[in-house]
Chain A
């Protein structure tokens, strides 16, 4: 169960990782550039700023989820 839940977290977080960089920042950037965030065309913003912020958030969310999971399954370090 511990490992299954871990894999589920990984799948969700890595999906977001892929979407914000490879999709929003590259493949869909053209479409997103029609929208604006302040002075930034949105696709450009994801490629040069947004994806990096998301990466940082993803790691901290993962750390939070895993520390909770370790405790729940009683496999955390003493």
Chain B
């Protein structure tokens, strides 16, 4: 069977599974809709969290990014995993004990302020919406490339699928669908990696394979370093000293941002007990780590393969996958010196080959001559990654609107049934809005993801941590800290992002920190300001101190699972 047929079968089959699961696990109450009834087992929750977390970008783009960055690419690997340690140790158990539905719930009650809730709500909406638009775009691209439908049709199919199971199932449907999607995506990512690792190093475990000797007896990384240096690139494993401070701050911003992202935090409201919240963060990271430790191995294999097979190859004899990908425009060759061979060099004036980072994962099975079904599997995996993340984000958007805005702000007297109905309408509107934005993505979507992480790091993270660990923290301190953190981070990012119209130049970065890393500084600013202001103003009321005291011990969380809000 051809790769095309396999793709249809595998994508169609997995979609059917998602829809069946969604029908079997419809939500009947707001509690089921928002937090899956609070009764998801920790391992299932860990898988769902992992699928929610690993987006189309993790699945398709990150490996390529690392392959072209080498050592510095570690900032994504550490940044997008290290945040789970913070979540498990500093946030998840306490928020679970607090026992409501959303992050704005916590901010609003802990800081006894409707304004604080509103600021948190706006941030949550902004962060989730920017993120989800990127996912819808990812769905469109994946469909377009592999099912040979136009990009717009691809996005529309994506809207249809997500619409169906998110509106119907709420968090309950989404959680169980994500468990299935996790299995699909992790299988799709690791199978090609194992094949390639075996081919290149004889070791079936990619994590060990890329530190072993290749078939010629030389360590793979040594060979890659040599190849890179010969062509004028930086050695793959060597450290860029001028970039260390920046790498430090970017890693930090991604970690603190992860721990502050509403769609990740809400996951820990879905388990029955505090104990389960702690361990399910552990399971989530373990499942995420499978992909995140395989990705750098795939990056090394792919980079070596490309340098080895394409550099100085005659254009006449290039393998068939080269020609296939050339047609998509993601790979291009321009014979500058007219000698008929490919010069792949670091010097832009002489280089003749352009490789888009996104093709690394997609083209990998073809480059390594793997069977046709593996190619279909990778497509199904990429779609699973994009759909699961989109669904989780859409749920946060709908919860923010129906629960935080409607129920707690505009119409507190709304009935349970009315709220559930509003939640369904909100998610339906959000799916369509995100799809439409994904159809016609403003060029800056990719750029605002930096803003999403920066905002989460500089607003939510300090406000929640201080709310748990500092009993003296009051409304005035937390609000001033959040506002200053947000304003500082947003201004810096907009000023230094030419794609957002900012006039700033890279040489003027403060201490060389690029906009992606400024969230770390915004977070420190938030902490400092909040602590100072809170000590200069009156202490929080007694019942808030009591709340802080109460969330610090696990016992008693059980009764909150029956208490409906």
Which residues of A are in contact with B by a Cβ distance under 8 Å?
2-3, 6, 10, 13-14, 17, 21-22, 25-27, 29-30, 33, 37-41, 43-45, 47-49, 51-53, 55-56, 58-60, 62-63, 66-67, 70, 73-78
Within 8 A of A (CB), among B190-221: 207-208, 210-213, 219-221
Q: A39-B222, A48-B77, A77-B558 known; A59 and B247 CB under 8 Å?
A: no
Separation of A51 and B81 alpha carbons in the complex (Å):
9
Q: Which of A2, A44, A74, A78 contacts B558 (CB 8 A)?
A: A78
A55/B82 in contact, CB under 8 A:
yes
A40/B211 in contact, CB under 8 A:
yes
Contacts of B552 in A (CB 8 A): 3, 6
Give chain B's interface secondary structure class. helix
Separation in Å of the A28 CB from the closest CB of chain B? 10
B285/A56 in contact, CB under 8 A:
yes
Contacts of B222 in A (CB 8 A): 39
Contacts of A78 in B (CB 8 A): 555, 558
Chain B residue, CB-CB nearest to A10: B89
A56/B286 in contact, CB under 8 A:
yes
Q: A27-B248, A33-B239, A48-B74 known; A56 and B289 CB under 8 Å?
A: yes
Show 24 residue pairs from A and B whose CB-CB distance is below 8 angstroms, ordered by the A residue: A10-B89, A10-B90, A17-B82, A21-B251, A21-B255, A26-B74, A29-B239, A33-B237, A39-B211, A39-B212, A39-B213, A39-B221, A40-B211, A41-B237, A44-B74, A44-B221, A48-B74, A49-B293, A55-B84, A55-B85, A56-B282, A70-B275, A76-B554, A77-B275
Separation of A48 and B553 alpha carbons in the complex (Å):
36
A75/B77 in contact, CB under 8 A:
no
Q: Does B252 contact A (CB under 8 A)?
A: yes
Contacts of A58 in B (CB 8 A): 85, 89
Separation of A58 and B289 alpha carbons in the complex (Å):
13
Q: Does B461 contact A (CB under 8 A)?
A: no
Separation of A10 and B87 alpha carbons in the complex (Å):
12
Q: Which range contains the number of B residues in contact with the other chain?
A: 35 or more
Q: A56-B289, A59-B89, A75-B555 known; A67 and B211 CB under 8 Å?
A: no
Contacts of B252 in A (CB 8 A): 22
Q: Does B388 contact A (CB under 8 A)?
A: no
B289/A53 in contact, CB under 8 A:
yes
Contacts of B66 in A (CB 8 A): 48
Contacts of B255 in A (CB 8 A): 21
Contacts of B289 in A (CB 8 A): 52-53, 55-56
B557/A51 in contact, CB under 8 A:
no
Chain B residue, CB-CB nearest to A2: B553
Q: Does B496 contact A (CB under 8 A)?
A: no
A53/B293 in contact, CB under 8 A:
yes
A47/B78 in contact, CB under 8 A:
yes
A63/B278 in contact, CB under 8 A:
yes
B77/A26 in contact, CB under 8 A:
no
Separation of A50 and B255 alpha carbons in the complex (Å):
16
B282/A48 in contact, CB under 8 A:
no
Separation in Å of the A52 CB from the closest CB of chain B? 5
Contacts of A17 in B (CB 8 A): 82, 85-86
B557/A60 in contact, CB under 8 A:
no
Contacts of B85 in A (CB 8 A): 13-14, 17, 55, 58-59
Separation of A43 and B208 alpha carbons in the complex (Å):
16
Chain B residue, CB-CB nearest to A21: B78
Chain B residue, CB-CB nearest to A59: B282
Q: A37-B211, A77-B554 known; A47 and B77 CB under 8 Å?
A: yes
Separation of A44 and B69 alpha carbons in the complex (Å):
12
Q: Which of B208, B212, B237 contacts A44 (CB 8 A)?
A: B237
